[in-house]
Chains A and B, each alone.
Chain A
């Protein structure tokens, strides 16, 4: 069988250029065919002719596969084009931002004291874009730790930018509250990622978020006078009590379930022992 596979492959590979890569590919394909033949034999096939035909058929249109393989060796990898396009895009975007900054500042449309925010806005947008790319990569590789940390850093940068814009353009009394909102948003985004990645820590994180949010809301509403300090304190207190109660209830349920599962398994094993083992002579 191996000899027949070799003959087939020798003939097929003569149709493409004799490169080192082609030789490696030929050897790999032989191993694949041999393994497939082994699988068919183990599964009960005894007709060598049928096994051979099935194995060769598994290669599909092998002449086309080989032609594509050969072509791939000479084509310029697309990755280089992508890198070139990316570099051109970045240079273009930077030029656009600089031009916008100069035009708006020189024409007096935006004062020099504010126009530098255009640069900060561009950097913030770039960080957000990098964050999205990193997250998509994390989804592909199923590794989220770095992406989650970067997410939080992105939220911080976005909120710092927002604070500067609000403070420098509108001078509101409570602009600093942006930083309190930043904490709420950072945890909320992490919870959203937790749901996507099915992280086991998401549920406890929700409880933490509820408590943190209620405390920060209490502070913000209290300071701004939108809610009296008393009985406003009930907001964080009741939220914390509810979160702890929910958490304790969930833990209790999980422990009960684990205990039940263990007991069931032990019972099953015992039954097997009693019925089969002891009565078998």
Chain B
């Protein structure tokens, strides 16, 4: 029997594997197209892409010394499925598909399903977070669209990045002393003790994965953005503000408590060549946002948030902390010991935020089919952990909270969304007078 090809498990593969203790390791994307998608072309593009990226059809093998990926045989039916449905069942079927978890030992590490409903299609995809993160997921979707459209025009060549998956690409933009300093950033930034948690029900038998969504409509988002522009602050700062302000209210935290929330940072900002460099992998760090209590108004909270995030924004090593520590642990110890050591030293944040950013419809077309709506979200967190993920598309923001819980948890999350949206509207109405509309 032919020996299977092995791929080295990179630092982030191992870290994401460790995160199985906190969440389901899946990254999700759903795109609603206005027209049907040509499944035959999609099939060809997916096979060609999978062939070029071996880690997508490989099984992960935990080992005491050093874990690895083993390239596996597969068929397109392992990856792609097509379902005809109606508008009544569409959302529940999408939810059922995207909340599944692909085992690490599976022969493929991503799954795509096309839902045909009437004269439109919905593209849904889940992928093991160990293969790549949200940043490369966006890149993957863009390449899928570009390759699909090229194939429609008769070009059979499929292009996708196939370079190194190593974590140390994040040092490629740095030079000289800065590079040396960055490689010595051993500080463990996960060790910020914040014991505030999002109030959810205790674990129950029958808890299941759910992706709760809430949309900020285009009109509200446009006003929200305009207020931000007036003050010279980003949407990320504004969302962090309403999120933290709402958490104090919903969580019942004492108003003078310090609240710290990590905000995910795409480390490709430090990579020469950005998103097109290297191979599909994880390059995500985080910056801590800490406020010393909630502001009397949302504007006051915004000032507190800005004072915290400015420190990170001015830091040329933003997001690069702790990487050398992880590298050291994985280098000097056998895997089994390093995982235990990291587990002891790593404090998974109870509450987080991830701004996935903008999904541009023009970069995601599949032939004549244009995405009219969609979102991406991170892994489904296990209680008491939770994260708010944000995706912007067509001038709207989709907020998602993916958790493993029950109907009572769903109600609590919806209540939180209601508070969050009320705070967004309050912020707009409080500041509308300054806008020249």
Q: Does A197 contact B (CB under 8 A)?
A: no
Q: Which of B232, B233, B307, B415 contacts A273 (CB 8 A)?
A: B415
Contact stretch, chosen from A38-46, A112-120, A172-180:
A38-46
Q: In the bound complex, do residue B299 and residue A269 qualify as a contact, i.e. CB atoms below 8 Å apart?
A: no
Q: Does B175 contact A (CB under 8 A)?
A: no
- Tally of B interface residues using CB under 8 Å: 23
Which residues of chain B are near A262, meaning CB under 8 Å?
A: 202
Q: Which of B252, B306, B408, B411 contacts A38 (CB 8 A)?
A: B306
Closest to A41 in B: B231
Q: Does A281 contact B (CB under 8 A)?
A: no
Interface of B is mostly: helix
Q: Does B263 contact A (CB under 8 A)?
A: no
Q: Does B89 contact A (CB under 8 A)?
A: no
Q: Which of B201, B202, B299 contacts A42 (CB 8 A)?
A: B299
Q: In the bound complex, do residue B231 and residue A42 qualify as a contact, i.e. CB atoms below 8 Å apart?
A: yes
Q: Which of A43, A266, A272, A276 contacts B201 (CB 8 A)?
A: A266
Alpha-carbon gap, A266 to B251, bound state (A): 11
Which residues of chain A are near B117, meaning CB under 8 Å?
A: none
Which residues of chain B are near A199, meaning CB under 8 Å?
A: none
Q: Which of A240-277 contact B (CB under 8 A)?
A: 262, 265-266, 268-270, 272-273, 276-277
Q: In the bound complex, do residue B411 and residue A277 qualify as a contact, i.e. CB atoms below 8 Å apart?
A: yes
Q: In the bound complex, do residue B303 and residue A273 qualify as a contact, i.e. CB atoms below 8 Å apart?
A: no
Q: In the bound complex, do residue B231 and residue A269 qualify as a contact, i.e. CB atoms below 8 Å apart?
A: no
Interface of A is mostly: helix
Q: In the bound complex, do residue B199 and residue A266 qualify as a contact, i.e. CB atoms below 8 Å apart?
A: yes
Q: Which of B201, B299, B408 contacts A44 (CB 8 A)?
A: B299
Q: In the bound complex, do residue A35 and residue B411 qualify as a contact, i.e. CB atoms below 8 Å apart?
A: no
**Shortest Cβ distance from residue B300 to the other chain A in the assembled complex, whole angstroms:** 7
Q: In the bound complex, do residue B306 and residue A266 qualify as a contact, i.e. CB atoms below 8 Å apart?
A: no
Q: Which of A29-50 contact B (CB under 8 A)?
A: 31, 35, 38-39, 41-44, 46
Which residues of chain A are near B434, meaning CB under 8 Å?
A: 46
Q: In the bound complex, do residue A39 and residue B306 qualify as a contact, i.e. CB atoms below 8 Å apart?
A: yes
Which residues of chain A are near B363, meaning CB under 8 Å?
A: none
Alpha-carbon gap, A30 to B132, bound state (A): 40
Alpha-carbon gap, A187 to B239, bound state (A): 50
Q: In the bound complex, do residue B252 and residue A268 qualify as a contact, i.e. CB atoms below 8 Å apart?
A: yes
Q: Which of B391-415 contact A (CB under 8 A)?
A: 408, 411-412, 414-415
Q: Does B153 contact A (CB under 8 A)?
A: no
Q: Does B310 contact A (CB under 8 A)?
A: yes
Q: In the bound complex, do residue A276 and residue B231 qualify as a contact, i.e. CB atoms below 8 Å apart?
A: no
Q: C-beta contact mask, A8-42 vs B, less than 8 Å → 1, else 0?
A: 00000000000000000000000100010011011
Which residues of chain B are near A273, meaning CB under 8 Å?
A: 408, 411-412, 415
Which residues of chain B are near A277, meaning CB under 8 Å?
A: 411, 414-415, 418
Q: Which of A35, A42, A269 contacts B412 (CB 8 A)?
A: A269
Q: Which of A35, A46, A272 contacts B306 (CB 8 A)?
A: A35
Closest to A38 in B: B232
Alpha-carbon gap, A277 to B418, bound state (A): 9
**Shortest Cβ distance from residue B176 to the other chain A in the assembled complex, whole angstroms:** 16
**Shortest Cβ distance from residue A243 to the other chain B in the assembled complex, whole angstroms:** 26
**Shortest Cβ distance from residue A33 to the other chain B in the assembled complex, whole angstroms:** 13
**Shortest Cβ distance from residue B223 to the other chain A in the assembled complex, whole angstroms:** 16
Q: C-beta contact mask, B229-255 vs A, less than 8 Å → 1, else 0?
A: 001110000000000000000001000
Q: C-beta contact mask, A130-151 vs B, less than 8 Å → 1, else 0?
A: 0000000000000000000000
Closest to A35 in B: B310
Q: In the bound complex, do residue A42 and residue B303 qualify as a contact, i.e. CB atoms below 8 Å apart?
A: yes
**Shortest Cβ distance from residue A280 to the other chain B in the assembled complex, whole angstroms:** 8
Alpha-carbon gap, A266 to B383, bound state (A): 13
Alpha-carbon gap, A31 to B199, bound state (A): 39
Alpha-carbon gap, A39 to B308, bound state (A): 12
Which residues of chain A are near B58, meaning CB under 8 Å?
A: none
Which residues of chain B are near A39, meaning CB under 8 Å?
A: 303, 306-307
Which residues of chain A are near B314, meaning CB under 8 Å?
A: 31
Q: In the bound complex, do residue B306 and residue A276 qualify as a contact, i.e. CB atoms below 8 Å apart?
A: no
Which residues of chain A are near B303, meaning CB under 8 Å?
A: 39, 42-43
**Shortest Cβ distance from residue A50 to the other chain B in the assembled complex, whole angstroms:** 16
Q: Does B261 contact A (CB under 8 A)?
A: no
Q: Which of B83-140 contact A (CB under 8 A)?
A: none
Alpha-carbon gap, A77 to B307, bound state (A): 32
Which residues of chain A are near B233, meaning CB under 8 Å?
A: 38, 42
**Shortest Cβ distance from residue A222 to the other chain B in the assembled complex, whole angstroms:** 40
Which residues of chain A are near B310, meaning CB under 8 Å?
A: 35
Q: Does B302 contact A (CB under 8 A)?
A: yes
Which residues of chain B are near A31, meaning CB under 8 Å?
A: 314
Which residues of chain B are near A38, meaning CB under 8 Å?
A: 231-233, 306
**Shortest Cβ distance from residue B312 to the other chain A in the assembled complex, whole angstroms:** 13
A266-B299 CB under 8 A given contacts A272-B415, A273-B415: no
Alpha-carbon gap, A214 to B178, bound state (A): 56
Which residues of chain B are near A269, meaning CB under 8 Å?
A: 199-201, 412
**Shortest Cβ distance from residue B433 to the other chain A in the assembled complex, whole angstroms:** 9
Q: In the bound complex, do residue A266 and residue B202 qualify as a contact, i.e. CB atoms below 8 Å apart?
A: yes
Alpha-carbon gap, A273 to B408, bound state (A): 9
Q: In the bound complex, do residue A268 and residue B232 qualify as a contact, i.e. CB atoms below 8 Å apart?
A: no
Q: In the bound complex, do residue B302 and residue A42 qualify as a contact, i.e. CB atoms below 8 Å apart?
A: yes
Closest to B431 in A: A42
A43-B299 CB under 8 A given contacts A265-B199, A269-B412, A273-B408: yes
Which residues of chain B are near A266, meaning CB under 8 Å?
A: 199, 201-202
**Shortest Cβ distance from residue B1 to the other chain A in the assembled complex, whole angstroms:** 50
Q: Which of B273-327 contact A (CB under 8 A)?
A: 299-300, 302-303, 306-307, 310, 314
**Shortest Cβ distance from residue A240 to the other chain B in the assembled complex, whole angstroms:** 29
Q: In the bound complex, do residue A43 and residue B411 qualify as a contact, i.e. CB atoms below 8 Å apart?
A: no
Other than the known A42-B231, A46-B434, A269-B199, what 19 A-B pairs have Cβ atoms closer than 8 Å?
A31-B314, A35-B310, A38-B231, A38-B306, A42-B233, A42-B299, A42-B303, A42-B306, A44-B299, A262-B202, A265-B199, A265-B252, A266-B202, A268-B199, A269-B412, A273-B408, A273-B415, A277-B411, A277-B418
In the A-B complex, the 3 residue pairs with the smallest Cβ-Cβ separation, listed nearest first, are: A269-B199, A39-B303, A42-B299
- A to B CB contacts below 8 Å, 12 in the list: A38-B232, A42-B233, A42-B302, A44-B299, A46-B434, A266-B199, A266-B201, A268-B199, A273-B411, A273-B412, A273-B415, A277-B415
